[in-house]
Amino acid sequence: MKTARLGLALVLASTFGVTALSAKAEELSVATFVPPQHHTNTVMFKWFGEELAKRSDGELTMKLYPAGQLGAGPVQQYKRAVEGVADIAFGVSAYTPALFPKTMLAIPPGKANSSADATKRLLDVFDEYLADEYEDVKVIGITTAAGIGIAATKDVSTLEGMRGAKIVPYAALTTPIIEAMGAVPVQMPVTEMYTGLSTGTIDGAYATYNNMTPPWNFWDVASHFVTNVPVQHAVIFVVMNRERYEGLSDGHRSIVDELSGEAASMKLAESFDGADARSLAMMEDASDKNFEVVEVTADERARMDAAVAEGLKVIFADYADRGIRNAEEIYNAINR
């Protein structure tokens, strides 16, 4: 009888022990609209998931839901994090500009020409100027995709070539800049640009080298990739549902804190700059593709920069009309 009771006790203890362990284990869902093979998934989120598991002894993990599995399209990514549709979401600030007016001031051309440089600049000013735009979430990381070129179906390496061309900027914010350069701004998400270039709906789009190669494959439909243009930056965020973050155990929350901020932001930058470097090498080796890389001359770049300066005046005036009177101050702080 004692043996039977002891056996039952061991079974119950084992059962409760497993239950207790399971109760500690947590999995964070991550929503992203980009495909599984996108570099942010294979670099940043791979690193993030591995670090969560390693530092928590497997008790805190993440599961990636790529290609819009938790909701189609890039526009509602921030909302999905706020509402808890996903624990963590990857998104682009320019798709919901009303939420991030000050963050958007990192988009116009300035001093940064790479994701890493732009990321450092964003981090330097984040607490002073930008943090209040993210009060509803826990910020994991922030970076940019540096639009170092224009993928186009015509040569737009001069202001004459830009005149009348339908160009997709990185955000509607930069409309005055595109117009000052003589082009016609057309708003379009990156997921539609391939078709836009193919059908002639647009003549060009601000792009990275990575947009030219897989998974975006602009090199199939663009005849030119124009470099040495005034660089625009798409601001990228990774944010976490605040209630989910605050509901973590102290230990798990500490791990998320350790990985957030500079660590995650620079890992995101590494993924974007690394993808550009790999894509540039692919472009240089692409003997079966019919496109031309054209560099804007120094004289033409000076003309474009002058147009940018005129466009910025319009942007700052618009901000002032909307009650944000320190827009130029924020822009200058990002670009000091």
Considering just the CA atoms, what is the radius of gyration of the chain in Å?
A: 23
Would you say residue 20 lies in a domain?
A: no
Would you say residue 6 lies in a domain?
A: no
Helix (H) or strand (E) holding 258: helix 250-259
pLDDT of residue 142: 98
* pLDDT tens, position by position, 157-214: 999 999 999 999 999 999 999 999 999 999 998 889 999 999 999 999 999 999 999 9
Q: CATH no. for residue 70?
A: 3.40.190.170
The dihedral formed by the CA atoms of 219, 187, 203 and 236, expressed in degrees to the nearest 10: -30
CA 20 to chain centre: 38
Mean pLDDT of 35-58: 97
Mean pLDDT of 121-139: 98
Would you say residue 17 lies in a domain?
A: no
What is the residue range of 214's domain? 27-334
Would you say residue 14 lies in a domain?
A: no
Mean pLDDT of 256-260: 98
Non-local CB neighbours of 241 within 8 Å, separated by 6+ positions: 81, 82, 83, 84, 86, 87, 88, 137, 138
Would you say residue 15 lies in a domain?
A: no
pLDDT of residue 24: 73
Would you say residue 102 lies in a domain?
A: yes
* pLDDT tens, position by position, 79-127: 999 999 999 999 999 999 999 999 999 999 999 999 999 999 999 999 9
CB-CB neighbours of 258 under 10 Å = 12
The model carries a pTM of 0.90
pLDDT of residue 9: 40
* pLDDT tens, position by position, 49-75: 999 999 999 999 999 999 999 999 899
Mean pLDDT of 240-248: 98
CB-CB neighbours of 72 under 10 Å = 11
Q: Report which DSSP code applies to 110.
A: -
The single-letter code of the amino acid at 244 is: R
CB-CB neighbours of 56 under 10 Å = 19
The single-letter code of the amino acid at 221 is: V
How many domains in the chain?
Answer: 1
Q: What is the mean pLDDT of the chain?
A: 93
Would you say residue 4 lies in a domain?
A: no
| Pairwise CA distance, residues 189 & 169, whole Å | 10
Query: How sure is the predictor about 4, in pLDDT bands with cuts at 50, 70 and 90?
Result: very low
Query: How sure is the predictor about 22, in pLDDT bands with cuts at 50, 70 and 90?
Result: very low
Would you say residue 158 lies in a domain?
A: yes
pLDDT of residue 5: 39
Mean pLDDT of 243-258: 98
